[in-house]
């Protein structure tokens, strides 16, 4: 269960972004309200069935552990530059051959002790940070394929481009507030 899944399931106020301008925060709040009004009780119930972690067993005693931010919090951030000490703290109490998280929406593969820690990126909202610090959204979907053979894992990171014009058309036809603003970071 991601932080947005949890927020929508429980009908909690949106996260307006700590570094966002006042104007952008208002646009995010309008988008959150629009999204919340689109959901029915059935949608919220479905979202509430999502689990904080998912453990998949494969191979001989091989474990893949999925979570959003970290195994203990869907808002934790795990970055490739994180110190081994910090990463140990985030994964403390959990054992897996492959740890799979998200939250940052940015792809990552990191070897950690006898495990891999990966973030496949994002299916619907990929993020690339430019050297200036600006976030951009490429028109692609990202995922990972994890394979285990003879108790050895291989990880394939996949990015598949899709039509930016089709995305623009879908956003404009959706009725969402401030579509031009939301689309301004997509390329």
pLDDT one-digit tens code per residue, 137-180: 999 999 999 998 888 889 999 999 999 999 999 999 999 999 99
The answer on pLDDT for 43 being more than 80 is: yes
Identify the pLDDT of residue 87: 97
pLDDT of 119-137, one tens digit each?
999 999 999 988 888 889 9
The whole-number pLDDT of residue 6 equals 94
- 7-42 pLDDT, tens per residue? 999 988 766 666 778 999 999 999 999 999 999 999
The 10s digit of each residue's pLDDT in 76-101 is 999 999 999 999 999 999 999 999 99
pLDDT at 131: 87
Class of domain 53-162 as given by CATH: alpha beta
pLDDT reading at 109 higher than 90: yes
Short-list 6, 114, 106, 98, CA closest to 51: 6
Residue 60 has pLDDT above 90, yes or no: no
Q: What does the DSSP assignment read for the chain?
A: --HHHHHHHTTPPP---TTS-HHHHHHHHHHHHHHHHH--HHHHHHHHT--SEEEEEETTTEEEEEESSSSS-TT----TT--HHHHHHHHTT---SEEE--SS-S-EEEEETTEEEEE---SS---EE-TTS-EEB-SEEEEEEEEEETTEEEEEEEEEE--HHHHHHHHHHHT-S-HHHHHTTB-
pLDDT digits (tens, 9 = 90+) for 111-122: 999 999 999 999
Residue ranges matching CATH 3.60.21.10 in the chain? 53-162
Mean pLDDT (the chain) is 93
Tokens matching residue 142:
């990202």
User: Structure pTM?
Assistant: 0.90
């Amino acid at each position: 269960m991601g932080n947005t899944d949890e927020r929508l399931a429980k009908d909690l106020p949106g996260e307006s972004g700590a570094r966002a301008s006042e104007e952008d925060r208002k646009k995010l709040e309008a988008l959150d309200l629009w999204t919340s009004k689109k959901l029915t009780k059935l949608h919220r119930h479905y979202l509430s069935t999502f689990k904080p972690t998912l453990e998949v067993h494969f191979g001989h005693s091989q474990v893949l552990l999925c979570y959003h931010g970290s195994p203990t919090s869907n808002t934790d951030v795990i970055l490739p530059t994180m110190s081994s000490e910090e990463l140990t703290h985030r994964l403390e109490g959990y054992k897996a051959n492959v740890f799979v998280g998200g939250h940052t929406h940015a792809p990552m593969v990191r070897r950690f002790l006898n495990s891999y820690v990966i973030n496949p990126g994002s299916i619907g909202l990929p993020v690339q940070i430019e050297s200036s610090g600006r976030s951009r959204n490429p028109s692609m979907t990202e995922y990972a394929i994890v394979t285990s053979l003879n108790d050895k894992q291989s990880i394939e990171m996949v990015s598949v481009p899709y039509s930016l014009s089709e995305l623009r058309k879908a956003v404009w036809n959706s009725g969402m507030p401030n579509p031009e603003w939301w689309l301004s970071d997509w390329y």
